[in-house]
Structure 1
Amino acid sequence: MASITLDISDEQLQKLQAIAQESGISLEHLLRTRIEDWLSHPTSDFV
């Protein structure tokens, strides 16, 4: 499996951590799931 590193602001990290915690899942699982959803349902609205 490949890995990537992404720089995000502290505020973005805190928001993502809060969403993951509210959902009862790890941050890694949250991000992996959202990426899988995005790849499964691409949209032409992305700019």
Structure 2
Amino acid sequence: MLYQDHTSVVCKKQIFHTEFILRCHYYITTFDLYYTDQIQQTT
């Protein structure tokens, strides 16, 4: 029982971690696109 609980916790952490990475990647990409757009407008 204890082992199963531990496994589910690890799974939840991994899922959270993946979501976090994807979210970070999304924000970075969006910021990057926005920034490049601003640069292109000024030149």
Shared topology, TM-score over 0.5? no
Larger Rg: 2
TM-score, normalisation: structure 1:
0.36
The structure whose RCO (Cα within 8 Å, separation 6+) is larger is: 1
More helix by share: 2
